[in-house]
Structure 1
Amino acid sequence: MAAGIFVWSLTTLLGSYVTNFWAFLVMRSLVGVGEASYSTIAPTIISDLFVGDTRSKFLALFYFATPVGSGLGYIVGSEASRVMGSWHWGLRVTPVFGAVAVLLILLVVQDPPRGESEGAHLSATSWWDDIKSLGKNKSFVMSTAAYTAVAFVARALAWWGPKFIALGLATQQGHQDVSLDDVSYIFGLIAMIAGLLGVPLGSFLGQKLRVRYQRADPIVFGMGMLFSTPLVLAALFIAGWNTTTCFVVVFFGQVLLNLNWAIVADILLVCYTVIPTRRSTAEAFQILFSHGLGDAGSPYLIGQISEILKKSFSTPAAFVEGAMVLNSTVSSIVSDFVTSLPD
């Protein structure tokens, strides 16, 4: 984990100094490598240290860093860029926190034996046996599919949300000079507070309802997604006529969206879904699919859909042509991803 965060922080810092597009792309790709090496291991260590509701609480504490950190990133990044007069400084702040995390991991964290929290030390099975078992595990497959959908929505909202809201606010009388940086700052603050409330709320609801309803976790997960959809959609329309209402609706939509982060970890990592020796592999594959088919392409696909919808307002023929291009693009991405998977 320490090595992963070190690579993560170092490549983030180096990326702020490169001037070539391809060099910048390489640095950002290596950021993902560092992130993956850390985020696949940390939840499994928590699962090996705790059990039952205590595990759920600590996983909630860990996963609430995702939305809160994302929101804080908007605030710190935008302010650093504004104060220093360059977006590069938004990347140069991150390594400071990374260095602190590396020191804490090296000095504090210990790696417990697999299955220690369940009262047993289990022997590892082969990687291929783990893959075959996970492929037959319906809870793992379906929760991964749902988590991929959440990642798709969350990333697209984080990427396009501030810009779309800024465009909507600019149509209001007296708001024509609205700043994207100001909107990003408020959006990040909302995302951070929504994460602080939504993640522990999801974990709390799952723990309380699990006593009476065995399938409480997936129900809370699904209902959060279901009810967040109309709120986020409504906020995009409200941006054109009322600023305060728009941000309030976005806040409640993000609270509901954040219910899932700790719950999906519970579904994946508790002992009755994936055995302790397969937790890291399960976490790795869930992250692979959620990023590969979820948040990695969602900003691009949403942008393509936006362009198609713009054309559809001009001529029907342009809409059909744009739809064909989008279909070809999506098919190509999915085909390339499936081809890259092992047999």
Structure 2
Amino acid sequence: MEEIDHEGERLLQQKEEDDQGENHHGAVRISTQSSKVEGCQAYIAVSILCLVNLLNYVDRYTVAANLEEIQKSFKITNDNSAAGLIQTVFIIGYMITSPIFGFLGDRYSRKVIIAFGITAWSGLTLAGSFVPDDKFWLFILIRGAVGMGEASYVTIAGTIIGDLFVGNQRSRMLMVFYFAIPVGSGLGYIAGKGVATAFDDWRFALRFTPVFGIICVILIILILREPNRGQAETGNQAMSNTNYVTDLRALFKNPSYIFSSLGLTCQCWVVGALALWAVKTLEFAYTLQGLDNSSVSYVFGIVTCISGFVGVALGTSFAQYLRKFNPRADPLVCAFGMLSGAPFLFLGILVADQNVTVAWIFILFSETLLFLNWALIPDILLYILIPTRRATGNAVQMLMSHLLGDALSPWIVGFVSDRIRENMSAPSSIHDQYYSLVYALYIGGFITVLGGGAFLATSLYIEAAKKRVEDIVKSKNDASSALTSDNFVN
């Protein structure tokens, strides 16, 4: 009887689309329905995704850990603008392909897409380690292509977790998943610098992550089971999805989505700038005080790991507790993290040339507060968007946050630093190189405050958006008519 009901629903949906002339523009049925993924299988899936996410960020920040050596190798030591392009082009490649993978992730096998992406980024990372010293432009292009490969994974991995869990359990799984961002970033600095030092060549730092990448591909192909979209919320019933134009229109009518994306953009701006330039700035600070700067990458990596682990755990736990009293808890915690992290960031940069120990303490507090958000922002996205629109929503959010965030900030900081240094008395001196970077990094403090304001704005709309999705998912009516409505904002 259930099969007859589903078939009748499909025929009714097709008839409605024909009557409205929307055969190519209305709701489209997802044709595949797998068995339910639950219990140990669900936790195994999360474990594999966490491992890949960790590797993703280790790979990404290996370059930042060895920036000075890379600049020397490609003979761009005094050109911070060119050095900033390494991260900027990577993020550009990452962001321009995100919408494509978001579209595919809402409609086709996410497992296959992820396996393809990891294989591509592993191969390209390895290829980048063999670029000759006189081919900096080729190294830049390869890093951009690596970003494209990573986008295939990051865009859709979180949506799989969203399909496996709901409520506080989903929040906890996302917390574990997003531990990989700060921890992986920190390990990227530590392992990347360690491997480069061990082999006396920064290129070897790009040759160890591809090995683990292939291992991850094997685990995904042989072990990972992909759930149906919305499995945890719909009882494993396949849902209807809409065409891409309808998806985009719905996203941009959703204020919670827009403001939370703007908040993430500000966070990406600050983190992107710090990721590339903080180590080099602190190395200059050590040198000005007559200290050995060889350990800066390791210390920064350790500080990032600790602050990330503590920040993500505190942010998620604090938000879960506050939800009992305030349904707007998630964006409010995000706003608190951004607004309170700004002064610590400013102070950490300010005192680095006078007392590096105090600077490290301020940086630890600043990063901890900024990392309160990492698991909360994707959790917000999952409950303000319907299951069949989440990969697209994540992709568009990534495009926005990277286009205006960490794709721009490394280059902007490098460019502003170069322009400031040109007007200083001794542009090639360590003193002027340090202070030009410090002044450029101050921009991040103001961007952080803007991000806090965006999350406060998110809190004004979050309740209505969440309730709308819950009503749609629980509805016994044909979802296609609601999904194609111009008034649907989720």
TM surpasses 0.5? yes
Name the structure 2 match of 1:59: 174
Matches within 5 A, 1:212-251: 212-251=325-364
User: Is 2:147 the counterpart of 1:46?
Assistant: no
Contact 1:168 1:236 in 2 (8 A): no
Name the structure 2 match of 1:290: 401
Counterparts of 1:93 and 1:182, CA distance in 2: 21
What are the superposed Cα offsets for residues 194-237 of structure 1, whole Å, 9 maximum, x if unpaired?
11111121111111111111111111101101111111111112
Q: CA deviation at 1:306?
A: 2.4
Matched residues, number: 309
Q: CA deviation at 1:136?
A: 0.4
Counterparts of 1:219 and 1:97, CA distance in 2: 38
TM-score, normalised on structure 2?
Answer: 0.61
Name the structure 1 match of 2:416: 305
Q: CA deviation at 1:305?
A: 2.3
Q: In angstroms, what is the RMSD of aligned CA positions?
A: 1.6
4+ runs deviating over 6 angstroms: none
Name the structure 2 match of 1:193: 306
User: Is 2:375 the counterpart of 1:262?
Assistant: yes
SS in structure 2 of the partner of residue 38 of structure 1: helix
Contact 1:225 1:256 in 2 (8 A): yes
User: Is 2:271 the counterpart of 1:154?
Assistant: yes
Counterparts of 2:118 and 2:176, CA distance in 1: 19
Contact 1:75 1:185 in 2 (8 A): yes
Matches within 5 A, 1:268-283: 268-270=381-383, 273-283=384-394
Name which of 115, 118, 123 aligns with 1:2: 115
Change (3 A) 1:200 1:91: same
Matches within 5 A, 1:173-212: 174-175=290-291, 178-179=292-293, 181-212=294-325
SS in structure 1 of the partner of residue 375 of structure 2: helix
Q: CA deviation at 1:311?
A: 5.4
Contact 1:199 1:259 in 2 (8 A): yes
What are the superposed Cα offsets for residues 139-183 of structure 1, whole Å, 9 maximum, x if unpaired?
1111111101100100101111111122222222x42xx32x421
Contact 1:269 1:279 in 2 (8 A): yes
Q: Tell me the amino acid that sits aligned with residue 5 of structure 1.
A: I
Q: Tell me the amino acid that sits aligned with residue 305 of structure 1.
A: V
TM-score, normalised on structure 1?
Answer: 0.87
User: Is 2:226 the counterpart of 1:111?
Assistant: yes
Counterparts of 2:124 and 2:402, CA distance in 1: 19
SS in structure 1 of the partner of residue 241 of structure 2: coil
Counterparts of 2:118 and 2:403, CA distance in 1: 21
Which range moves more in the overlay, 259-268 or 237-246? 237-246
Name the structure 1 match of 2:136: 21
Name the structure 2 match of 1:170: 287
Contact 1:114 1:121 in 2 (8 A): yes
Which range moves more in the overlay, 191-200 or 128-137? 191-200
User: Is 2:186 the counterpart of 1:71?
Assistant: yes
Q: Tell me the amino acid that sits aligned with residue 85 of structure 1.
A: D
Q: Tell me the amino acid that sits aligned with residue 127 of structure 2.
A: L
Counterparts of 2:202 and 2:362, CA distance in 1: 29
Counterparts of 1:46 and 1:188, CA distance in 2: 27
Change (3 A) 1:7 1:192: same
SS in structure 2 of the partner of residue 41 of structure 1: helix
User: Is 2:259 the counterpart of 1:142?
Assistant: yes
**Structure 1: segments with no counterpart, 5+ residues:** 315-325, 327-343
Q: CA deviation at 1:124?
A: 1.2
Q: CA deviation at 1:259?
A: 0.6
What are the superposed Cα offsets for residues 259-306 of structure 1, whole Å, 9 maximum, x if unpaired?
111010111112xx1000000000111111111111011011112222
Q: CA deviation at 1:23?
A: 2.6
Q: CA deviation at 1:258?
A: 0.6
Q: Tell me the amino acid that sits aligned with residue 6 of structure 1.
A: T
Counterparts of 2:130 and 2:287, CA distance in 1: 34
Q: Tell me the amino acid that sits aligned with residue 209 of structure 2.
A: T
Q: Tell me the amino acid that sits aligned with residue 273 of structure 2.
A: A
SS in structure 2 of the partner of residue 167 of structure 1: helix
Counterparts of 1:209 and 1:55, CA distance in 2: 16
Q: Tell me the amino acid that sits aligned with residue 216 of structure 1.
A: A
Q: CA deviation at 1:313?
A: 6.2
Counterparts of 1:33 and 1:207, CA distance in 2: 34
Counterparts of 1:304 and 1:230, CA distance in 2: 24
What are the superposed Cα offsets for residues 52-109 of structure 1, whole Å, 9 maximum, x if unpaired?
0101111111111111111100001101111101110111111122122112211222
User: Is 2:249 the counterpart of 1:132?
Assistant: yes
Contact 1:169 1:241 in 2 (8 A): no
Counterparts of 1:88 and 1:293, CA distance in 2: 30
Q: CA deviation at 1:310?
A: 4.0
Counterparts of 1:166 and 1:284, CA distance in 2: 36
Counterparts of 2:202 and 2:418, CA distance in 1: 27
SS in structure 2 of the partner of residue 113 of structure 1: coil
Q: Tell me the amino acid that sits aligned with residue 147 of structure 1.
A: L
**Structure 2: segments with no counterpart, 5+ residues:** 1-113, 426-439, 441-490
SS in structure 2 of the partner of residue 241 of structure 1: coil
Which range moves more in the overlay, 102-111 or 188-197? 102-111
Contact 1:64 1:199 in 2 (8 A): yes
Contact 1:123 1:277 in 2 (8 A): yes
Counterparts of 2:385 and 2:194, CA distance in 1: 42
Q: Tell me the amino acid that sits aligned with residue 182 of structure 2.
A: P
